[in-house]
């Protein structure tokens, strides 16, 4: 009996041409699911002039919904503004399951809400960690509780992320799966020749924002340069904290030892990584951190803060962990420099090939989809009881939102019957398990 093939709609505000961990995750997971014979369609908001329907490598179809970003690449929350277009995509593409990504994404939350109203199974992947005390986190956690109250299954990228999501959303732990990110080792390869170790180069590639620990770098870099005259830093990335780093460079006269590259396109990240010996990650919070995988795949020894899911990412002999404190980070860098002669980039790259693979991630995600489709499809009254349990006042508000969504959906069906929406023909490439799709994408980049 042939395995059941799914028809999946991936939804998030974060997708190409924007670059980041979530964007890479959605793209590479979609490519591998396509190669396993599933149908995958992506829905995101318009980016500049990129609006409408586009096709990417491997026949991946992307709907760039003509909805402009409002703040930090997120669309303006409207609750019901996207109902009509999400319904049209679901019917046109004969979707069986909706997979939303990232708790930051407004489009993701709205699409999952509409999908459950229309009786579709929903899966959510959380890529980030949140706190519990500040106003922003409290608000975000309540929104997440609303969305996850009725999803079929949830996925987290690390065990730490799972604990965080379960605590924030109240979701039963047995409905949350841990599937880590992966790295495209065909793209991130070590330098052909070993680098000269007379000069040690430490690479930092990150958004220069508070959450990524840019303030820590301001204190760590001058101290490391004072202790080791042969150490040089290469910093790739942009953000509001770039000014502080440039001021530090001027203050300590480190212009010849600290190179600021600015924003680095993803296609050029590998060429920057292979110019260094050590990769430095100073994040203050991190659910997983794909950047560490990319650096390890290129043969770099990693020094990182011990936060979130980072300790789960690499074996102990491939990473040196430190508390998010300047003194401890300097000690970790000193330890990394001392063990650098024992590191063989090619051996590290081969180990990464075995540890992390996007095809393995896709097969594990398939299992979650299978379980989601086996979940019973409850009626509105049964679903409302879940929302009412979200809080004395919030529960009633969530239930009201869903009732209105349900009524609008029925009005939409009267105004534009389902049979009047044209279904599009399927476009699925033949199965191919040799990694060619990923290689083609890398060649294009």
DSSP 401-426: HHHHHHHHHHHHHHHS-GGGSPPPPP
Res 444 pLDDT > 50 = no
Helices 83-92, 106-117: crossing angle, 10 deg rounding:
70
DSSP run (H or E) holding 97 = strand 97-101
Pair of tokens at residue 114: 């509409």
Sheet holding 258-262, edge to edge: 258-262, 231-236, 200-205, 278-281, 301-305, 319-322
Length of the chain: 445
- Give the pLDDT confidence score for residue 1 in this predicted structure: 34
Give the pLDDT band (50/70/90) at residue 128. Answer: confident
Mean pLDDT of 79-106: 95
Report DSSP letters for 224-264, one per residue: HHHH-TTEEEEEE--STTHHHHHHHHHHTT-TTTEEEEES-
Cis before 301 (ω within 30):
no
What mean pLDDT, rounded, does the chain reach? 90
Would you say 66 and 435 are in contact if contact means Cβ atoms under 8 Å apart? Answer: no
Pairing assessment for the beta strands 52-56 and 60-65 based on DSSP bridges:
antiparallel
Q: Is the pTM of this model over 0.85?
A: yes
Give the pLDDT band (50/70/90) at residue 3. Answer: low
Chain CA centroid to CA 323, Å: 24
Pairing assessment for the beta strands 74-75 and 69-71 based on DSSP bridges:
antiparallel
Supply the Cα-derived Rg of the chain in whole angstroms.
Answer: 23
Give the pLDDT band (50/70/90) at residue 136. Answer: confident
Residue 322, helix vs strand vs coil: strand
Measured CA to CA, the distance from residue 438 to residue 104 in angstroms comes to 27
Chain CA centroid to CA 12, Å: 10
For 180, residues 6+ apart whose C-beta sits below 8 A from its C-beta are 157, 158, 288, 312, 313, 356, 361
Pair of tokens at residue 242: 């770039």
| Beta-bridge mates of residue 106 | none
> Which residue in this structure is represented by tokens 């505000």?
13
Residue-wise pLDDT for 373-412, tens only, equals: 998 877 888 888 888 888 888 889 999 999 999 999 999 9
Least confident of 23-32, 87-96, 128-137, 203-212: 128-137
Question: Which candidate, 229, 258, 230, places its Cα nearest to that of 246?
Answer: 258
For 58, residues 6+ apart whose C-beta sits below 8 A from its C-beta are 31, 34, 35, 429, 437, 440, 441
| Beta-bridge mates of residue 234 | 203, 259
| Beta-bridge mates of residue 302 | 279, 319
- Give the pLDDT confidence score for residue 266 in this predicted structure: 83
Q: Which residue has the higher pLDDT, 170 or 347?
A: 347
- Give the pLDDT confidence score for residue 107 in this predicted structure: 95
Helices 106-117, 394-415: crossing angle, 10 deg rounding:
70
Give the pLDDT band (50/70/90) at residue 422. Answer: very high
Would you say 233 and 258 are in contact if contact means Cβ atoms under 8 Å apart? Answer: yes
- Give the pLDDT confidence score for residue 94 in this predicted structure: 95
> Which residue in this structure is represented by tokens 């999803």?
151
Mean pLDDT of 153-167: 93
Measured CA to CA, the distance from residue 17 to residue 101 in angstroms comes to 16
């Amino acid at each position: 009996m042939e395995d059941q093939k799914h028809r999946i709609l991936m939804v998030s505000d974060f997708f190409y041409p924007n670059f980041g961990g979530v964007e890479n995750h959605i793209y590479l997971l979609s490519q591998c699911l396509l190669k396993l014979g599933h149908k995958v369609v992506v829905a995101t908001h318009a980016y500049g002039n990129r609006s409408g329907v586009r096709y990417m490598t491997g026949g991946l179809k992307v709907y760039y919904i003509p909805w402009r970003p409002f703040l930090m690449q997120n669309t303006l929350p409207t609750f019901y503004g996207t109902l009509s277009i999400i319904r049209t995509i679901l019917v046109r593409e004969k979707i069986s399951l909706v997979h939303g990504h990232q708790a930051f994404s407004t489009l993701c939350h709205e699409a999952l809400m509409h999908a459950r109203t229309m009786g579709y199974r929903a899966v959510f992947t959380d890529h980030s960690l949140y706190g519990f005390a500040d106003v922003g986190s409290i608000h975000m956690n309540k929104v997440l509780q609303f969305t996850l109250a009725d999803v079929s299954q949830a996925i987290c990228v690390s065990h730490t992320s799972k604990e965080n999501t379960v605590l924030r959303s109240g979701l039963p732990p047995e409905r949350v799966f841990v599937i880590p990110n992966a790295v495209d080792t065909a793209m991130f390869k070590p330098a052909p020749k070993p680098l000269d170790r007379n000069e040690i180069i430490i690479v930092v590639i990150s958004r220069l924002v508070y959450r990524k620990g840019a303030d820590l770098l301001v204190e760590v870099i001058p101290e490391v340069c004072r202790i080791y005259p042969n150490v040089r830093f290469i910093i790739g990335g942009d953000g509001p904290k770039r000014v502080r780093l440039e001021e530090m460079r001027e203050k300590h006269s480190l212009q010849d030892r600290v190179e600021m590259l600015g924003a680095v396109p993803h296609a050029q990240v590998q060429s920057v990584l292979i110019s260094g010996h050590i990769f430095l990650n100073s994040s203050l919070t991190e659910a997983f951190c794909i950047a560490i995988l990319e650096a390890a795949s290129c043969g770099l020894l990693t020094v990182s803060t011990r936060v979130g899911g980072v300790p789960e990412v690499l074996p102990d002999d491939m990473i040196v962990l430190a508390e998010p404190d300047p003194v401890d980070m300097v000690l970790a860098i000193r330890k990394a420099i001392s063990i650098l002669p024992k590191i063989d980039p090619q051996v590290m790259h081969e180990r990464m090939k075995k540890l992390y693979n996007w095809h393995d991630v896709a097969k594990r995600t398939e299992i979650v989809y299978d379980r989601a489709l086996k979940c019973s499809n409850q009626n509105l009254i049964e679903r409302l009881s879940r929302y009412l349990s979200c809080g004395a006042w919030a529960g009633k508000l969530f239930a009201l939102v869903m009732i209105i969504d349900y009524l609008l959906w029925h009005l939409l069906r009267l105004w534009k019957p389902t049979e009047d929406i044209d279904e599009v023909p399927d476009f699925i490439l033949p199965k191919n398990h040799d990694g060619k799709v990923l290689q083609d994408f890398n060649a294009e980049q």
